[in-house]
A = this chain, B = another copy of it.
Amino acid sequence: MLKYQQIANEIEKYIQDHDLKQGYKLPVLEAFIAQYGVSKSTITKSLDLLEKKGVVFQVRGSGIFVRRHKREGYVSLLSNQGFKKDLEDFQLTSKVIELNVVKPTQEVMDNLNIGPDHDVYYVKRVRYINGETLCFEESYYNKEIVTYLNKEIVSESIFQYIREGLGLKIGFSDLFLHADQLSPEEAELLGLEPGNPKFCIESLFYLTNGQPFDFSKVTYNYKQSHFFIQVNGQLI
């Protein structure tokens, strides 16, 4: 982790630990520079990162302010997609239903940009939050990139393992969202009725070089699916 990222994490932690509210004015740039003993450009990078993450907003000529939201029980859709951090107050567990090396379907080939002879790891899990079914998840990992998985790894945070165990650098991701009705099989996995709503997120994760390595389809229990996104001005 680079210096500016470390500092960004420390500032974010300070905001959380002190439960600072939206609109709380943070110290001026010079105070941060003095506190962390780094250059102006490092602090500027830290604050830009925090702004991108929706932790602060900067008002030209006026200062840097805390950015938060007020909704309990909503989970960030973009950051911490492994759910670990946002959900550390919750009891989150996984049950691995299947872990296999398989040949890709057409859909998986299209998404992972591979041919029919490529091997992929197929992982099917059900995840529980506070004892209730949160979602079930089918993931396909290009085995040329994610060279090894086992049941213990996929019971925990796969992404932490991919980053720290395999040393892969995750570049970016595409998410596709829609709502639909549960099929009988899906309803059974989630403990709901067929025809009930489902909140679906398909995601494609890429390495920094643009190669896709993970295609996942997650079907959420609609009663548990509350997500938030903090959007920056440049994207509106």
Which residues of A pack against B, CB within 8 Å? Answer: 22-23, 49, 52-54, 57, 59-60, 62, 65, 67, 69-71, 74, 77-79, 81, 110, 169-181, 195-199, 204-206, 208-210, 220, 222, 225-236
Given contacts A65-B210, A236-B79, contact A231 B178 (CB under 8 A): no
Q: Min CB distance, A159 to chain B, in Å?
A: 8
CB pair A236 B22 closer than 8 Å: no
**Residues in chain B near residue A208, CB distance under 8 A:** 59-60, 233
CB pair B197 A78 closer than 8 Å: no
CB pair B231 A78 closer than 8 Å: yes
CB pair A231 B70 closer than 8 Å: no
A184 to B123, CA, bound (A): 39
CB pair A59 B172 closer than 8 Å: no
A69-B176, A78-B236, A180-B197 given; 15 more Cβ-contact pairs under 8 Å: A59-B208, A65-B210, A70-B110, A74-B176, A77-B229, A78-B229, A171-B233, A172-B232, A174-B228, A174-B231, A177-B229, A178-B225, A197-B222, A208-B233, A229-B229
CB pair A236 B172 closer than 8 Å: yes
A208 to B199, CA, bound (A): 32
The CB with the most chain B CB atoms within 10 A, among A196, A222, A231, is that of A231
A53 to B234, CA, bound (A): 8
**Residues in chain B near residue A198, CB distance under 8 A:** 179, 197
A79 to B232, CA, bound (A): 10
A53 to B71, CA, bound (A): 26
**Residues in chain B near residue A74, CB distance under 8 A:** 176
Nearest B residue to A79, CB-CB: B235
**Residues in chain B near residue A196, CB distance under 8 A:** 181, 197
User: Which residue of B53, B69, B177, B236 contacts A235 across the interface (Cβ within 8 Å)?
Assistant: B53
- 23 examples of A-B residue contacts, CB within 8 angstroms: A57-B171, A57-B210, A59-B208, A77-B177, A78-B235, A169-B233, A170-B233, A173-B230, A173-B231, A173-B236, A174-B229, A175-B230, A176-B226, A177-B227, A177-B228, A178-B222, A178-B226, A178-B227, A179-B179, A180-B197, A181-B196, A181-B197, A197-B197
**Residues in chain B near residue A60, CB distance under 8 A:** 208
